[in-house]
Chain A
């Protein structure tokens, strides 16, 4: 009789619909394999069974991030924090979103809170160390610190014919010189500074030393970066630019900029 019961249990466990925990476990496996669509389907099924399940909402947040859906990811992380205000991974998720939104004032408390109870949380620690010395580049245009160094002769910093969006900033995000109008220039300077800071931190973390050059290729444009510890230069060309030409022209602009600023290369 007991044997029959066990056989019956084994059969029904195969045919029985999976519970929410099983669905979330399977979803997490799929997620770790990069099978986000299947994972999202399982998470949706699981949340239909258990709408207030924190693991489900956390997975949902991760999957929204993986699909680059920032608003829904943020809402899901907040739902997790509604259940557990110190959930370290939800705090890290919100910190990363705040960083992406250039809201340093919001980012720092999330990281501090995550590390308060989990001081050995390596991802949160890495981000906290990265943002520790940053000045806020996300402040509204017009309220950012103005460049107070020697004036630059615009005619001597003319980019090559195909070059555009030439911008020179200090490592703290202060705009030194730009080819564009004020508002656009400040947004561009904020982006260039942010890329420089994160790339510099990543290179340091990989044991590769201080950032010197960068090339960013997009569908219709290629941007070249040059930097030292204090200055960052970015110059953009159409996508079909020869890399050698772009590097050469960026180097020329870099040398001219340093000369204009009275800085030794």
Chain B
């Protein structure tokens, strides 16, 4: 191990050149999925976070610190997965949590969790549908594709 501990906020094994990351088709797919979610009216931000809390891609308003949000969303996602397992429930797929000023959507996928932030007026059904579609695409990258209705109305 290196003499210096890895400082918080730094990659664990040196600096990751962004150009190298952008070469990956999988990384491109995450960014494309997030960009699609962000095109939905009243969606304010989103991120793809690994189960260990690593931010794979993100776009959130400037006033939101990304690392703490990623740490909490990954923790929430893991509680939904592990807590469900503990209660012998079936596999967790998606969740939404509504608050006074907006809604947080969260979906589980092999890479971790897709998170979308919507404001108070966001079309919940539309985001849920788009999220399921995004998760199915990610599942397709790793394995079997989930069945997603053709339109939000069919959900």
Contact = CB atoms under 8 A, between A and B. Distances in A.
B28 to A, nearest CB: 9
A139 interface: no
A96 B75 contact: yes
Give the interface size bracket for A toward B.
Answer: 35 or more
Interface in A196-245: 198-199, 201-203, 205-221, 225, 239, 243
A198 B95 CA distance: 13
What 10 A-B pairs come out closest when comparing CB atoms? A54-B1, A126-B68, A209-B100, A219-B90, A65-B52, A123-B71, A121-B8, A28-B13, A208-B102, A209-B101
A13 interface: no
Interface of B: 1-2, 5-9, 11-14, 16-17, 20-21, 24, 26-27, 30, 45, 48, 50-54, 56, 60-61, 63-65, 67-76, 78-84, 86-87, 89-104, 111-112, 117, 125, 155
Contacts of B50: 31, 34, 36, 62, 65-66
A67 B81 CA distance: 12
Most chain A C-beta atoms within 10 Å of own C-beta, residue among B45, B99, B117? B99
A72 to B, nearest CB: 13
Interface in A49-66: 52-55, 57-59, 61-62, 65-66
B104 A206 contact: yes
A216 B8 contact: no
Given A59-B13, A199-B97, A187 B75 contact: no
11 contacts: A28-B12, A32-B56, A66-B54, A66-B112, A124-B8, A127-B71, A203-B97, A209-B101, A213-B98, A216-B95, A218-B92
B26 A33 contact: yes
A35 B20 CA distance: 13
Name the prevailing secondary structure of the A interface residues.
Answer: helix
B99 A208 contact: yes
Nearest to A68: B51
A212 B99 contact: yes
Contact of B1 (A80, A99, A118, A207): A80
Interface of A: 21, 24-25, 27-29, 31-36, 52-55, 57-59, 61-62, 65-68, 70, 73, 80, 83-84, 86-89, 92-93, 96, 99-100, 118, 120-127, 130, 184, 187-188, 191, 194-195, 198-199, 201-203, 205-221, 225, 239, 243
A74 to B, nearest CB: 12
Nearest to A218: B90
Contacts of B100: 208-210, 212
Contacts of A54: 1-2
Contacts of B94: 216-217
Contact of A218 (B9, B17, B72, B84): B84
B146 to A, nearest CB: 10
Most chain B C-beta atoms within 10 Å of own C-beta, residue among A53, A86, A118, A203? A203
Nearest to A36: B111
Given A29-B20, A34-B48, A83-B1, A202 B14 contact: no
A80 B2 CA distance: 11
B6 A87 contact: yes
A219 B93 CA distance: 7
Contacts of B73: 202
Nearest to B15: A25
B76 A202 contact: yes
A207 B101 contact: yes
Contacts of A62: 12, 50, 52, 54
A84 B76 CA distance: 28
A52 B1 contact: yes
A123 B2 contact: no
B75 A55 contact: no
